[in-house]
């Protein structure tokens, strides 16, 4: 429940600190005194978006802080899932900075607005006149029915199943689209792959082939120069080898005279050995060099094939062609296995659909069973509220569309008088009737929900007299299960509260501020008397006020 509310620099409120009781609290005040400001502040700690225009002093930050006693409401899971510190008395704080930025905190830990909204949904229900209009909304009607049917756990199961089903549908659609695309490309990809595989490409092959082409294209020129080199090296009388041998012989004669000469001898000897080896290799290479037009043609054809493939695929190396070949191979293999993947995904879609359908059917059955219970309870309360002939009918239909809460559609039909036909609630109920029906709904929900706090903002619109007294009794009865606030202009309801707060405006210098005050016994009598007769309170009004207060 809401224990404490602190407001600083919000709208007409400079600073407010107020403690609340856990029973039935009344808030009254003249129109424009600031009751809506209180609701706005509570809206902030419930996760509503902040507005820079809410700052009273544009140079100072606005702070709204609410303390909620939450022990006994099974909220530890929320704190664990959001990695927040759990406290039996949890503090939610909102700050609006002069820059326009907004910050939110739960137990002094910074949080995002979505987390505040989620926690706020567990803590407080601010019922406004707008929410009364929501009674005509199908989704809200379904929420009411689900609360009475006890469908919360089943709805969580269904939502998870629906998410898995839609995910499987999405994956199947993606696979199907891939198959359609691949089918269009499959023949061409297969052709390209076969073409590359037929080329039997090897890494480094292009450089080897280009070198071989140069040799085969210049055989005669190479033989001519190689023969000349061999002759110069090996000529019997004047060849390089013969000349080196003569040098070696001369150096051998003096090598024993000096270590330096011996080094010269060794170096020349090494030259002779190396030149002999080169000459032998050149001779072997020379013998192997033949004019081979057929080999030349084969090398040239392979290179032209490589150049053609490189141009087709816009690459510059055999290695890149091989990478493309691997990619095409994977595409072809993937296409061949796609039908199997699609079949598996279709089976998954059907399985998850069956699971979601079964849960949706269970939700439907529990809703149908809950309808007479809900109708009886609402009708019983409406009899007390002066609508003895009211009748309700819930029409629940099943379709093939998957909604967030199942596959059901709902129509709430209403008849206020004997002999009149049922009609859609939003079309046949008056404003006063809608207020009473909504109060009846909230009173029923109070026994099913675990919500700590509810605030009624002028739910008494369109009623008066004895009906207002009954409405007050119903709200007081609700306070046995939860904390109830009622913002009202009716003295009959105001008198039912356990505690009574008054919102009022006063002038401080050149500024006007709103304040909230807990009324004492005599102050409360006078406030209710003013609600009965206006500012000029008569003795009869005071007597009437005392009578209402009992």
CB neighbourhood size of 223 (10 A): 16
Residue 213 sits in the same domain as residue 322:
yes
Spatial CA neighbour of 347 closest among 184, 165, 530, 111: 165
Query: Domain for residue 369, yes or no?
Result: no
Q: Does residue 363 fall inside a structural domain?
A: no
User: Quick count: other Cβ atoms within 10 Å of Cβ 321?
Assistant: 20
- Taking a C-beta distance cutoff of 8 angstroms, is the pair 165, 349 a contact? yes
- Determine contact, residues 425/135, Cβ cutoff 8 Å: yes
Residue 129 has what pLDDT? 67
Residues in the chain: 550
Range of the domain at 415: 2-150+385-519
CA distances from 68 to 86, 136, 312, 446 (A): 12, 31, 72, 18
Residue 185, helix vs strand vs coil: helix
**Inter-residue contact 286 to 226 (CB < 8 Å):** yes
How far are the Cα atoms of 21, 282, 285 from residue 224, in angstroms, in the given order? Answer: 115, 12, 12
Strand 511-518 relative to strand 62-69: parallel, antiparallel, unpaired?
unpaired
CA 450 to chain centre: 27
Residues 288 and 332 in one domain: yes
**Would 361 be classed as within a structural domain?**
no
Residue 126 and residue 38 in contact, taking contact as beta carbons nearer than 8 Å: no
Task: Quote the CA–CA distance of 530 and 541 in Å, as a whole number.
Answer: 8
Q: Do residues 131 and 199 both lie within one domain?
A: no
Q: Are residues 426 and 332 in the same domain?
A: no
Q: β-pairing, 483-487 with 453-457?
A: parallel
Looking at the structure, do residues 67 and 196 belong to the same domain, yes or no? Answer: no
- Judgement on whether residues 479 and 400 belong to the same structural domain of the protein: yes
Q: Are residues 269 and 401 in the same domain?
A: no
Q: Reduced to 3 states, what is the DSSP secondary structure of residue 1?
A: coil
Note the pLDDT of residue 236: 67
Question: 76 and 144: one domain?
Answer: yes
CA distance 48 to 99: 18
What span, in angstroms and rounded, lies between the C-alpha atoms of 147 and 405? Answer: 12
Strand partners, 410: 396
Q: Is residue 124 part of a domain?
A: yes
Where would I find the H helices in 390-536?
425-428, 431-446, 465-478, 491-494, 521-533
Q: Are 395 and 419 in contact (CB under 8 A)?
A: no
Residues 144 and 239 in one domain: no
Of 515, 503, 385, 499, the residue nearest 438 (C-alpha): 385
Domain membership flag for residue 210: yes
Full DSSP string of 178-211: HHHHHHHHHHHHHHHHHHHHHHT--TTHHHHHHH
Both 327 and 393 in a single domain? no
- The 10s digit of each residue's pLDDT in 131-178 is 677 788 888 889 889 999 999 899 999 999 999 999 999 999 998 888
For residue 252, tell me if it sits in a domain: yes
- Helix 219-234 × helix 259-288 angle, to 10°: 150
Strand partners, 486: 26, 456
Q: CATH no. for residue 71?
A: 3.40.50.300
Task: Answer yes or no: is 362 within a domain.
Answer: no
Residues 416 and 476 in one domain: yes
Q: What is the pLDDT of residue 130?
A: 67
Q: Is 547 domain-assigned?
A: no
DSSP letter string over 255-295? TTT-HHHHHHHHHHHHHHHHHHHHHHHHHHHHHH----HHH
Cα 268 from Cα 276, distance rounded (Å): 12
Residue 502: other Cβ atoms inside 10 A: 21
Q: Which of 316, 297, 295 is nearest to 306 (CA)?
A: 316
3-class DSSP state for residue 66?
A: strand
Please identify every stretch of the chain with a pLDDT value under 50, giving residue numbers as ranges. Answer: none
- Provide the domain count of the chain: 2
Please state, in angstroms and rounded to a whole number, the distance separating the CA atoms of residues 440 and 456.
12
| Cα-Cα end-to-end distance for the chain | 27
Domain end residue (candidates: 337, 372, 398): 337
273 and 319 part of one domain:
yes
Per-residue model confidence (pLDDT) at position 316? 85
The rounded distance, in Å, linking the Cα atoms of 318 and 207 is 10
């Amino acid at each position: 429940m809401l224990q404490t509310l602190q407001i600083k620099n919000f709208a007409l409120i400079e600073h407010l600190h107020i403690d609340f009781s856990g029973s039935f609290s009344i808030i009254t005040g003249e129109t424009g005194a600031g009751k809506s400001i209180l609701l706005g502040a509570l809206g902030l700690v419930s996760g509503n978006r902040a507005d820079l225009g809410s700052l009273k002093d544009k140079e100072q930050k606005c702070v709204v802080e609410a303390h909620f006693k939450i022990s006994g409401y099974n909220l530890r899971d929320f704190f664990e899932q959001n990695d927040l510190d759990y406290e039996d008395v949890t503090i939610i704080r909102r700050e609006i900075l002069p820059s326009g930025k907004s910050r939110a905190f739960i137990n002094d830990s910074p949080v995002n607005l979505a987390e505040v909204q989620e926690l706020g949904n567990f803590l407080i229900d601010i019922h406004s006149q707008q929410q009364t209009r929501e009674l005509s909304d199908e989704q809200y009607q379904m929420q009411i029915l689900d609360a009475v049917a006890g469908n919360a756990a089943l709805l969580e199961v269904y939502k998870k199943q629906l998410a898995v089903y839609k995910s499987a549908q999405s994956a199947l659609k993606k696979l199907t689209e891939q198959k359609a695309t691949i089918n269009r490309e499959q023949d061409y990809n297969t052709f390209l792959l076969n073409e590359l595989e037929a080329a039997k490409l090897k890494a480094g092959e292009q450089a080897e082939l280009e070198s071989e082409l140069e040799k085969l294209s210049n055989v005669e020129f190479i033989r001519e120069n190689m023969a000349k080199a061999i002759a110069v090296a090996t000529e019997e009388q004047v060849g390089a080898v013969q000349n080196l041998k003569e040098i070696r012989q001369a150096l051998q004669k003096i090598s024993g005279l000096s270590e330096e000469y011996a080094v010269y001898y060794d170096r020349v000897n090494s030259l002779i050995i190396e030149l002999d080896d080169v000459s032998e290799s050149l001779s072997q290479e020379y013998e192997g060099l033949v004019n081979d037009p057929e080999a030349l043609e084969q090398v040239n054809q392979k290179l032209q094939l490589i150049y053609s493939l490189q141009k087709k695929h816009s690459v510059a190396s055999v290695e890149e062609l091989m990478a493309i070949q691997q990619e095409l191979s994977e595409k072809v293999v993937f296409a061949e296995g796609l039908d199997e993947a699609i079949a598996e995904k279709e089976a998954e879609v059907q399985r998850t659909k069956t699971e979601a359908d079964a849960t949706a059917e269970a939700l439907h059955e529990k809703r149908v069973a809950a309808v007479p219970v809900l109708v009886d309870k609402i009708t019983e309360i409406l009899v007390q509220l002066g609508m003895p002939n009211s009748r309700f009918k819930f029409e629940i239909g099943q379709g093939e569309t998957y909604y967030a809460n199942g596959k059901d559609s709902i129509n709430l039909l209403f008849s206020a008088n004997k002999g009149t036909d049922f009609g859609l609630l939003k079309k046949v109920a008056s404003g006063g009737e809608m207020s009473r029906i909504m109060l009846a709904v909230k009173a029923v929900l109070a026994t099913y929900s675990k919500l700590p706090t509810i605030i009624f903002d002028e739910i008494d619109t369109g009623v008066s007299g004895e009906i207002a007294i009954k409405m007050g009794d119903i709200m007081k009865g609700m306070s046995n299960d939860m904390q109830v606030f009622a913002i009202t202009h009716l003295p009959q309801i105001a008198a039912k509260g356990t505690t009574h707060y008054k919102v009022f405006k006063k002038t401080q210098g050149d500024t006007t501020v709103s304040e909230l005050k807990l009324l004492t016994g005599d102050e409360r009598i006078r406030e209710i008397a003013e609600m009965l007769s206006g500012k000029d309170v008569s003795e009869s009004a005071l007597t009437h006020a005392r009578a209402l207060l009992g």
